[in-house]
Chain A
Amino acid sequence: MSRYELRFSGAGGQGLITAGIIMAKAASIYEGKQAVQSQSYGPEARGGASKSEVIISDGPIDYPKATTVDALLAMTQEACDKYTHDLKDGGILLVDSDLVTKLPKGNFKVISFPIINTAKNDVGREIVANIVALGAMVALTGQVSRENAEKAVLSSVPEAFIELNKKAFSIGFEKALAASA
Chain B
Amino acid sequence: MSKKVAFLQGNEAAAHGALYAGCNFFAGYPITPSTEVSEVLSIELPKIGGKFLQMEDEIAAMAAILGASLAGAKVLTSTSGPGLSLKQELVGYGCIAEIPCVVYNVMRGGPSTGMPTGPSQSDVMCAKWGTHGDHPAICLTPASVQETYEEIIRAFNLSEKYRTPVMVMPDEIVAHMRERIVFPEPGEVEVTPRKSPTVPPEQYKPYDTSFGDVPPLAAFGSGYKFHVTGLNKASDGFPTTKANLVQAEEERQVRKVDANIDDIVQFEEYLLDDAEVAVVAYGSTSRSARYAVNVAREQGIKAGLFRIKTFWPFPDKQIKALAGRVKGIVIPEMNLGMCSLELERCAQGKVPVLGIFRVDGEPINPDQILDKIKEVK
Contact = CB atoms under 8 A, between A and B. Distances in A.
Interface of A: 21, 24-25, 28-29, 34-43, 62-65, 67
15 contacts: A21-B7, A36-B178, A40-B117, A41-B117, A43-B116, A62-B288, A63-B290, A63-B291, A63-B365, A63-B366, A64-B177, A64-B284, A64-B287, A65-B173, A67-B367
A44 to B, nearest CB: 10
Q: Which of A35, A38, A39 has the most CB of B within 10 A?
A: A38
B316 interface: no
Interface in B175-215: 176-180
B363 interface: yes
Interface of B: 5-7, 32, 116-117, 173, 176-180, 284, 287-288, 290-291, 294, 363, 365-367
A29 B116 CA distance: 31
B177 A29 contact: no
Given A62-B290, A64-B284, A65-B365, A36 B117 contact: no
A25 B116 CA distance: 26
B117 A24 contact: no
A37 B180 CA distance: 10
Contact of B180 (A28, A38, A40): A28
A74 B117 CA distance: 21
A24 B32 CA distance: 23
Given A36-B178, A64-B284, 19 more contacts: A21-B7, A24-B178, A28-B179, A29-B5, A29-B180, A35-B180, A36-B179, A38-B173, A43-B116, A62-B291, A63-B287, A63-B288, A63-B291, A63-B365, A63-B366, A64-B177, A64-B287, A67-B366, A67-B367
Ranked 9 nearest A-B pairs via Cβ: A38-B177, A62-B291, A63-B291, A28-B180, A37-B178, A62-B290, A25-B7, A62-B287, A63-B288
A29 B7 contact: yes
Contact of A37 (B32, B116, B117, B177): B177
A22 to B, nearest CB: 9
B315 to A, nearest CB: 21
